[in-house]
Amino acid sequence: MRYRLVIFDWDGTLMDSESRIVTCMQAAARDIGWNELSRESVCDIIGLGLPEAIARMCPGIDDDRALVLRERYSHHFVTADQEPVAFFPGVEEGIARLRENPEQRLAVATGKSRRGLERVFAANGSGVWFHASRTADETRSKPHPQMLEELLDELGVEVGEALMVGDTEYDLDMARVLGMDRVAVTYGVHATNRLMQSQPTFVADSFSDLIDWLHH
């Protein structure tokens, strides 16, 4: 196996949640009377922590209004989460293949909150797949590499033994800063030409491509 530890982003990498995030954020913006948010502007911030995402998506918003927007987004997302979101094709099979190796370590580094990640873990039972996880409300938001540094420390893995897998430049850039190998998946929210600026080690057009490359 190429790496002792493989770290996955969640939204847009493992789970096909783009439409839900966009719909809920647009609804939250309407709730507070903000200008209509385009799909592109919401997709641009997927992967960031919620405070950082709102600051980027809604320039000039004051703290009080930003807090209400966060609350409304969370309300819409929790309500929508009653209907589970699907994993991308090949994810469940691919993770199962990786878990066949008892020495393989798997982790999650996500812009979700801890509450949000635990909610999805409980809904589909995927929490048992991973040896560790970090969320944006526990540490610094992507693209700062702190969540990766903490995962390496927790699992006792050197940076050269680890791989970051993600669909946004934020995922790839936090790995690049550390000198960590990184895989860009092209089926998520950021365009391939944008991902290439982060100099990925490998580019995967499907999750199966990633798993095959890891076992090559």
Active site residues: 9, 11
Among 1, 12, 10, residue whose Cα is nearest residue 185: 12
Give the pairing type, strands 181-185 and 132-135. Answer: unpaired
CB atoms within 10 A of CB 88: 20
CB atoms within 10 A of CB 99: 13
Tokens linked to 189? 């929210």
CA–CA dist 199, 197 (Å, integer): 5
The angle formed by the CA atoms of residues 174, 205 and 45, to the nearest 5 degrees, is 40
CB atoms within 10 A of CB 86: 11
Residue spans of alpha helices (H) in the chain: 18-31, 39-45, 50-57, 63-80, 91-99, 114-124, 146-155, 169-178, 192-196, 207-214
CA–CA dist 75, 99 (Å, integer): 34
